[in-house]
Amino acid sequence: MVDMALSANAEASAAAMSRTKVLGRLRARDLVFRHLTRAAAILVLIILSGVIIALIEGSLPALQAFGFDFLLEERWNPVTEKFGALAPIYGTLVTSFIAMLIAVPLGLLIALFLTELCPMWLRRPIGIAIELLAGIPSIIYGIWGLFVFAPFLQRTLQPVLIDWFENVPILSSLFEGPPYGIGILTASLILAIMVLPFVTSISRDVFEAVPPVLKEAAYGVGCTTWEVLRHVVLPYARVGVVGGVMLSLGRALGETMAVTFVIGNAHKVSASILAPGTTISATIANEFTEAVGDLYTSSLIALGLILFVITFIVLAAARLLLLRLEKRVG
């Protein structure tokens, strides 16, 4: 009996030691995983801080030379080393605004059609086409826009807009001038085509996450398809839709090659969206390799800093909007 008790105690002790080793091994793995994830998060902050510091340091000569007038001056003369960021800032904001004004309604309508109205046999081809649009490199959009889309607009849409709104007080200034083909409107339409797949894909995924029981209940009480979409689908998915729209806006603000091909690259502010213009990213891409002198290079880096600030403000505003929506929903 004593031997049996001793044997049982030894087995229990061995089992306890085995469990202790297993638990210790699991704790060690968990500790390593925790440190790895923390290091990855800190690495992101370090990289972001490095980018900010590099932009600020590189832009200091231009900001010290021109001061706050750098944001308000339209001039951009590398010969006399007089630089102003107003034209690139104006072009960036206007092209992105027009692009989102076109892409967001179209993207939402396409996403609603795919999730609620489209026949099953047609959903996959349209979905593949949208994914292909998202995967096309921006330089391909630029080449197509320069050689195909811009001449098409020059022959068709732009003359019609000029004739239609020639005598309308405000719109006459918005659509005045000769139809160049290239310009702010062309760049905006190219941007709208480029961000449309992102708006559509994100909205479609969010709409598909709406519980079917909510839609079935709405149909059960006699709601039409439009009423279900308006009062059930869109309110349920509005947080995700806003997030997708803001991500697409960030893509539009920073787009470079496609815009560079079709915007005209003119450093001037014009009331007409048919006139050539420029954006921050297009200016940097066009002139950085030709920048001679510290002040010229610093001015281009200052443009990059301004674009960074604009993007940060947009994303911060989107985050605040999402928090308000989530708080309202509860």
The answer to whether 274 and 176 are in contact (CB under 8 A) is yes
What gap in Å lies between CA 157 and CA 162, rounded to an integer? 9
pTM for the full predicted model: 0.86
330 three-state secondary structure: coil
Q: What is the structure's pLDDT at 7?
A: 59
> Do both 60 and 76 map to the same domain?
no
- pLDDT of residue 148 exceeding 60, the answer is yes
Phi-psi region of 255 (alpha: psi -120 to 50; beta: other; left: phi over 0): beta
What gap in Å lies between CA 75 and CA 78, rounded to an integer? 10
Cα→Cα distances 326→45, 78, 208, 228, Å = 26, 49, 19, 21
Q: Which of 10, 42, 65 is the last residue of a domain?
A: 65
> Do both 163 and 259 map to the same domain?
yes
> Do both 283 and 202 map to the same domain?
yes
Residue 30 belongs to what H/E stretch?
A: helix 2-66
93-120 pLDDT per residue, tens: 999 999 999 999 999 999 989 888 888 8
Q: Which of 48, 65, 82 is the last residue of a domain?
A: 65
The CATH number linked to 203 is 1.10.3720.10
Q: What is the structure's pLDDT at 324?
A: 76
> Do both 43 and 160 map to the same domain?
no
Q: Which of 40, 65, 90 is the last residue of a domain?
A: 65
> Do both 53 and 110 map to the same domain?
no
Here the tokens at position 234 are: 């869109």
- Which residue matches tokens 């001449």? 151
> Do both 42 and 174 map to the same domain?
no
What gap in Å lies between CA 32 and CA 24, rounded to an integer? 12
> Do both 130 and 102 map to the same domain?
yes
> Do both 157 and 20 map to the same domain?
no
Give how many domains the chain has, as a whole number. 2
155-165 pLDDT per residue, tens: 999 999 999 98
CA 83 to chain centre: 28
Which residues 6+ apart lie within 8 Å of 270 measured at CB?
Answer: 177, 184, 277
> Do both 135 and 188 map to the same domain?
yes
> Do both 120 and 5 map to the same domain?
no
What gap in Å lies between CA 304 and CA 225, rounded to an integer? 46
> Do both 60 and 79 map to the same domain?
no
What gap in Å lies between CA 138 and CA 38, rounded to an integer? 35
Query: Could you tell me the residue range of the domain that residue 57 belongs to?
Result: 1-65
Percent of the chain residues past pLDDT 90, beyond the cut: 38
- Which residue matches tokens 């450093």? 267
What gap in Å lies between CA 109 and CA 104, rounded to an integer? 9
> Do both 107 and 247 map to the same domain?
yes
